[in-house]
């Protein structure tokens, strides 16, 4: 996996937008102005949101990812050697978590994720 692969996946999500909010080469993917995935300027993996701290800890203990630096404890960093299906699933799950936190009015403006 790579930055380009993550970007190719994320750009397919309805309403997803790419930005570099801190400058310096970050790829921050947002829906409704809220971030669901971030590739840092070091480019050593992608950080994604999990449902809660316990899920993040379980994934860290299972070796799926590591604690995402600079993020809340409910986020994990997935290294580039993460299995492609796992990476796809975690990006989709992160998007779905953030999307579901948007107002119903904003959610209604977004196409369904296929």
Q: What are the pLDDT digits (tens) for 42-78?
A: 778 999 999 999 999 999 999 999 999 889 999 999 9
Q: What's the pLDDT at 24? A: 79
Q: Which helix (H) or strand (E) holds 30?
A: strand 27-31
Residue among 79, 80, 114 nearest 96 (CA): 114
CA gap 35, 38 in Å, rounded: 7
Q: What's the pLDDT at 114? A: 75
Q: What are the pLDDT digits (tens) for 72-96?
A: 999 999 999 999 999 999 999 999 9
Q: What's the pLDDT at 26? A: 85
Pairing of strands 75-79, 45-49: antiparallel
pLDDT surpassing 90 at residue 1:
no
pLDDT surpassing 80 at residue 41:
no
What's the CATH fold of domain 3-103? 3.90.1150
Using the CB atoms, write b or e for 15-39: b if 16+ within 10 Å: bbeeeeeeeeebbbbbbbeebbbbb
Place of tokens 């604690």: 67
Q: What are the pLDDT digits (tens) for 2-36?
A: 889 999 999 999 999 999 888 778 899 999 999 99
Q: What's the pLDDT at 20? A: 86
Q: Where are the domains of the chain?
A: 3-103
């Amino acid at each position: 996996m790579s930055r380009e692969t993550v970007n190719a996946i994320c750009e397919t999500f309805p309403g997803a937008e790419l930005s570099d909010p801190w400058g310096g080469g970050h790829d921050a993917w947002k829906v409704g102005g809220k971030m669901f995935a971030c590739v840092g300027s070091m480019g050593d993996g992608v950080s994604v949101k999990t449902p809660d701290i316990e899920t993040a800890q379980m994934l860290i203990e299972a070796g799926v990812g590591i604690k995402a630096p600079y993020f809340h404890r409910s986020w994990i960093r997935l290294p580039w050697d993460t299995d492609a299906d796992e990476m796809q699933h975690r990006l989709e799950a992160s998007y779905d978590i953030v999307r579901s936190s948007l107002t119903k009015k904003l959610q209604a403006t977004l196409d369904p994720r296929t």
